[in-house]
Chain A
Amino acid sequence: MTPGKTSLAAIKAALFLLCLTPGFLLWRGLEMDSLGANPIETLTRSTGEWTLRFLLITLMVTPLRKFTGWHWILRLRRMLGLFAFAYASAHLTTYVWLDQFFDWEAMARDILKRPFVTIGFVALLLMVPLAATSSNFAIRQLGGRRWQALHRAIYPIVLLGCVHFWWLVKKDITWPLIYTAIAIALLGLRAWWRELERRKQVAGGYLPQQPKFAGKVIKIFAR
């Protein structure tokens, strides 16, 4: 099942609108004052959670492709990753503007003193080169292999995101636990594939192919 050029464009457009929906709802909520008693907290929390969700959705593309054989969904991955970065940027903006109101000194202290802020900040910084190299041009410039190596940074990023969330909640770790479990499953799957690949190489490289002896076998060591 591979959609044609026009259907893929339609799918992309629909997905784009879908990805935009949480942001749009938050914006409307802010305008209509329906984000609860502490709207800034709701906004910070939601943009952060959507960042994490989009990172996980991005990581789901490859497993989904392998299990279903829908190779075309790889063409949607860039958009999903960029949305993760967009929500992360909104998250940072909320923090810098609404929460701290450009109090750079307080923010610097926050980043240095509070491990969960430090970790979140590092994760966000790591996302920047990935977002910056998301164009076809960048892929050509870097070369596929190097580009892929760079974009594997999403693995530590998603884990840092989980820790950031985990350390931030006061006591009820239900949701951080759920996100972390999904992240570990998605990363574990990749580790498992890698292991399978390695075994296959080991098996394929040495075992079934018996060494071909061109000449005479000479016993070197006598017992």
Chain B
Amino acid sequence: MLIRHPDDILPSEITTPRLYQERRRFMSLAGGMALAGILPAGTAHASPASLGPILKSPLSTSEGQTPFKAVTTYNNYYELGTDKEDPAQNTYRLKTSPWTVRVEGLVNKPRTFGIEEILKLVPLEERIYRMRCVEGWSMVIPWVGIPLATLLKLADPQGSARFVEFVSHYDKGTMTRGVLDWPYNEALRLDEARHPLTLLAVGLYGELLPIQNGAPLRLVVPWKYGFKSGKSIVAIRLTEKQPVTAWMKAGPSEYGFYSNVNPEVDHPRWSQATERRIGEFSKRKTLMFNGYADQVASLYSGMDLRRNF
């Protein structure tokens, strides 16, 4: 008699022998060191926010990374306060569990994903990207996430879909009122959204995303100014018409739809020719497409980037 075993383990959930060996080695090593009293008791266990095995990516930069402390205390997350230090102090205003994200609009398979599902969809990748803020500062951040393209593929966009809109979480009861037209939304052209560099981040520095960095799920589009990368995303909507984004509504002459990093097109209030890398004293020259021109310039061939800013 044939006993059928239910096929309930996803291939992606099976630990590879190499990883298994590595974990065994780490545990015996850590155990040995703890026994020997080399490791203080507190550091022997993995942090609860740890994300487990993470693949390295050839798309990562080898530049020096901005310290974790700076990445997590200098944030623009207006829903949690408009000063840079505010979001880190107001993390209690956002509950990230349970969390779901809807993929909807012009897709053949609209779906709602739980955050746990997204964490297990495909192996997580580390992407060390430059991040350039429209205000003239920059960081290098080791994100952890999955390509946005993976999620889009599962939803199967319809032929008429041309743009992807990202809607951030907003709670009128606990979050900033006024300033912008909430909820925060951002958008990309579909080809930008599908670009291999475009990341749906769930963590940084190997751990789950801190609240102030856009937990539990945010976008990272490294060749565009930081505000294009929406935080705490609850809906991903495919549309035919170009969505009007929060910053476009707030200042149409200052914030364009594309908002590609471009040292030649100044913001009315800031020169974009240079930037200060957080932690550095002198300014450095800003690179076209934030240094990702080789990968993304072709997306904009034939476009007047001064007009499509």
Q: Of A33-41, A74-82, A88-96, which binds chain B?
A: A33-41
Assess the A36–B74 pair: CB atoms within 8 A: yes
Verify B271–A172 contact, CB threshold 8 A.
Answer: no
A167-B269 in contact (CB<8A) = yes
A114 interface residue per 8 A CB criterion:
yes
Q: Which residues of A contact B276 (CB under 8 A)?
A: 38, 40
- Residues in chain A near residue B78, CB distance under 8 A: 171-172
Give the Cβ gap from A117 to chain B, nearest Cβ, in Å.
Answer: 9
| Those of B272-293 within 8 Å (CB) of chain A | 273-274, 276, 278-279, 281-283
Cα distance A47–B251 when bound, in Å? Answer: 28
A25 at the interface (CB under 8 A from B): no
Q: Indicate whether A36 sits within 8 Å of B73 (C-beta atoms), given known contacts A106-B271, A171-B78.
A: yes
Which residues of chain A in 14-36 are interfacial with respect to chain B, using CB atoms and an 8 Å cutoff? Answer: 36
What number of B residues sit within 8 Å (CB to CB) of A?
27
Interface hits, A108-138 → B, CB 8 Å: 109-110, 113-116
Beta-carbon contacts of B127-144 to A below 8 Å, as 1s and 0s?
000000001010000000
Contact A37 B70 (CB under 8 A): yes
Query: B179 — which chain A residues lie within 8 A by C-beta?
Result: 171-172
B102, CB-defined interface residue at 8 Å: no
Once bound together, how far apart are the Cα atoms of A170 and B180, in whole Å?
A: 11
Q: How many A-B residue pairs have C-beta atoms within 8 angstroms? Tell me.
A: 49
Report Cα–Cα, A110/B279, bound state, in Å: 23
* A193: interface (CB < 8 Å): no
In the complex, the answer to whether B283 meets A101 with C-beta atoms within 8 Å is yes
Question: Bound complex: CA of A167 vs CA of B84, how far in Å?
Answer: 18
B268 within 8 A of A: yes
Q: Is A168 an interface position by the 8 A CB rule?
A: yes
Q: Does B39 lie at the interface of the complex (its beta carbon under 8 Å from any beta carbon of A)? A: no
B269 neighbours in A (Cβ, 8 Å): 114, 116, 167-168
| Residues of chain B lying within 8 A (CB to CB) of residue A116 | 269
Rounded to whole angstroms, the CA-CA distance of A38 and B276 in the bound complex is: 9
- Of B73, B82, B250, B283, which is within 8 A of A37 by CB? B73
**Cβ distance A116 to chain B, nearest Cβ, rounded Å:** 6
From A114, which residue of chain B is reached at the shortest CB distance? Answer: B269
Query: Known interface pairs A106-B271, A172-B82, A172-B179. Does A113 touch B74 (Cβ–Cβ under 8 Å)?
Result: no
CB distance from B121 to the nearest CB of A (A): 33
Closest to B76 in A: A170
Pick from A38, A100, A174: contact of B137, CB below 8 A: A38
State whether A171 and B180 are in contact (beta carbons under 8 Å apart), knowing that A37-B84, A101-B283 are contacts in the complex. Answer: yes
Rounded to whole Å, the gap between the CB of A217 and the closest CB of chain B is 68
Please name the residue on chain A nearest to B227 by beta carbon: A170
Contacts of A170 in B (CB 8 A): 135
B266 within 8 A of A: yes
A38 and B278 in contact, given A109-B271, A168-B269 (Cβ under 8 angstroms)? yes
Q: How many angstroms from the CA of A98 to the CA of B282 in the assembled complex?
A: 8
Q: How many angstroms between the C-alpha atoms of A172 and B73 in the bound complex? A: 19
- List B residues at the A interface (Cβ < 8 Å): 69-70, 73-74, 78, 82, 84-85, 135, 137, 179-180, 250-251, 266, 268-271, 273-274, 276, 278-279, 281-283
- Can you sample 27 A-B contacts with CB below 8 Å? A36-B73, A37-B70, A37-B73, A37-B74, A37-B84, A38-B74, A38-B84, A38-B137, A38-B276, A98-B281, A100-B283, A101-B283, A106-B271, A109-B271, A113-B266, A113-B271, A114-B269, A114-B270, A115-B268, A116-B269, A167-B269, A171-B78, A171-B82, A171-B250, A171-B251, A172-B82, A174-B82
A-to-B contact residues, CB < 8 Å: 36-38, 40-41, 98, 100-101, 106, 109-110, 113-116, 167-168, 170-172, 174
11 additional contacts (CB under 8 A) given A40-B276, A114-B271: A36-B73, A37-B74, A37-B84, A38-B74, A101-B283, A106-B273, A113-B266, A114-B269, A171-B180, A172-B78, A172-B82
- Top 5 nearest A-B pairs (CB, nearest first) are A37-B74, A37-B70, A172-B82, A172-B179, A37-B278
